[in-house]
Structure 1
């Protein structure tokens, strides 16, 4: 019996490795999340997030679209390899603030139509699902 268990454990571990443990599996996928505020200040210049597939995040800042890897299991939030287009627009300063805040976030919470990103320093980004 112990020999069978020893053979079964690696097979179970391989099956588990293929599961999505990022925010996409916990309600973030299938929505367009529109930025509402950063640190309780309204963010009215327009930005959004999407979770197009397991382990990926994409979106649109005030000027440029972006994509990145989502590396941490829910409820943690860590993005890596962020790539954005490089168009200029009047809201470029607001876009810089948006990307800086996004890269500083460490946790994600998805609750119905609301998505909240936060970090241990007390900063927070609030998003709502688009209609």
Structure 2
């Protein structure tokens, strides 16, 4: 009986720490490249990747960034967003990308496509460029 209770407690503890973020639903399987913001194709390269421990990393046209994402799927919330501060001629594009990314509140992963969106009808379309 004691073994059963110990095993049950371990299973319960494991269930409580299970990753329920976008990373566990296909987000961590790829590096994602931004294709469109609000239906408009982007003219620069920006990427996003998810780790199973909640870390998010990526690149804008000029800089690298990192954040945390712990909201359960399909919700999406970036926390503790930080970026390097290098200058390049695409800095305005990068600022728009970073601002849009931090406004997103929902995620949807379907194979090699990921859509981030919000209640204001904004949308970011990403496509998989590599396996995670």
Query: Do Structure 1 and Structure 2 share a fold, with TM-score over 0.5?
Result: yes
Q: Establish whether residue 101 from structure 1 lines up as the match of residue 100 from structure 2.
A: yes
Query: What is the distance in 2 between the residues matched to 1:51 and 1:80?
Result: 13
Q: Runs of 5+ in structure 2 lacking a partner?
A: 1-5
**More deviation in 106-115 or 7-16?**
7-16
Q: Tell me the C-alpha RMSD between the 2 structures.
A: 2.1
Q: Runs of 5+ in structure 1 lacking a partner?
A: 1-6
Secondary structure, counterpart of 2:73 in structure 1 = coil
Spell out the pairing of 1:1-131 with structure 2 (5 A cutoff). 13-130=12-129
Query: CA contact under 8 A between 2:22 and 2:74: conserved in structure 1?
Result: yes
Secondary structure, counterpart of 1:73 in structure 2 = coil
Query: CA contact under 8 A between 1:22 and 1:54: conserved in structure 2?
Result: no
CA offsets per residue over residues 22-61 of structure 1, 9 Å max, x none? 1110001131100000000111211000113321111000
User: Which is bigger in relative contact order (C-alpha 8 A, separation at least 6)?
Assistant: 2
Structure 1 segments (4+ residues) deviating >4 Å:
7-13
Secondary structure, counterpart of 1:102 in structure 2 = helix
TM normalised by structure 2 equals 0.88
CA offsets per residue over residues 56-108 of structure 1, 9 Å max, x none? 11100010001100020000000100111100000000000000000000000
Per the TM alignment, residue 9 of structure 1 is displaced from its structure 2 partner at its CA by 7.9
Query: What is the distance in 2 between the residues matched to 1:34 and 1:11?
Result: 39
